[in-house]
Amino acid sequence: MRGIRERIPSWRRTLRQVIFESDTRSGRAFDAALITAIVLSVVAVALESVPSVRLAWGPRLRSLEWGFTILFTVELLLRLLSAPHPGRYLRSFFGVVDVIAVLPTYTGVLLPGARYLLTIRVIRLLRVFRLLKLTAYVREAHMIATALRMSRRKIGVFMLAVVLLVVILGSLMYAIEGEVSGFTDIPTSIYWAVVTMTTVGYGDLSPQTPLGRFLSSLIMLVGYSIIAVPTGVFSVELSRASSGGRPRARCRACGSAAHDPDARFCTRCGTPLVEGTPEVNTGGQPRRTNDPGDASRATGDPGADLQS
């Protein structure tokens, strides 16, 4: 490792400290200047989308946009130059964001509307967490990401069921209402089912027959009820992630799971929850439990049940 560090020129190490680290004064100054430039570039792109501002300040704003793009391009090249593994950084989250942040301006030469995608530069403001040392927020964000990753299959199955339900209900509404009520085809009816089930209700389409209105009422009620499904799934996974990702073990004796995730013994009957953990039993006396049958099994006296 020391040999590798010795082969890296000193100016590259200094550049890396300034660009990638915020522990030094120069690193904090660089991050602060970068965040300021990101905010100004996003504001410039947003202002250019306003017709009156574009008419008065259009050329100046476009020049400013090109200036920020060149600045961010130079910054990206310096990051690749100072990174120990440029390819690995380019494939990382921030590397991809840095590339996407400069592409719209260059592609806007061929596709004029693409330059408005420059607002994606706002994602680069995530570097403010590193600048302000908000490690607690980063930890909480990692916890949420872990919960989403753990619940992705359950939510995926749920979304598939919702898609199937929307297709069926949309087709049924098309059969009930027909083109006379504005449901001209099945895709349009599916669009209406999505809008109705999500309780958005644009009002551009509405059923006219009594049966269609009854079906729409059912879809609205189903929409309200299914909102709780992904919320509950995510809440359970978030609770597991906040407790270190360890699910609560179920007791082999009484079946209870009402104990802490790191518990070694059942809080109800005292049975070991971890394999190889010795049972706590003092004085050769049977363990006190809430089940009188346990005492009879421990003493071998069938009359223990009657005595207790």
Instruction: Go through the domains of the chain in sequence order and give each one's CATH number.
Output: 8-133 (1.20.120), 135-245 (1.10.287.70)
| pLDDT score of 136 | 54
| pLDDT score of 126 | 64
| pLDDT score of 92 | 86
Residue 42 in contact with residue 63, Cβ under 8 Å?
no
| pLDDT score of 209 | 92
Nearest to 102 by CA among 67, 72, 63, 62: 72
> Which residue ranges of the chain lie beneath pLDDT 70?
1-8, 22, 112-119, 121, 124-139, 242-249, 257-262, 274-308
| pLDDT score of 279 | 42
| pLDDT score of 119 | 67
| pLDDT score of 303 | 45
Residue 7, classified by CB atoms within 10 Å of its CB into exposed (0-12), middle (13-18) or buried (19+), is exposed
Q: How many residues does the chain have?
A: 308
| pLDDT score of 291 | 46
Residue 135 in contact with residue 22, Cβ under 8 Å?
no
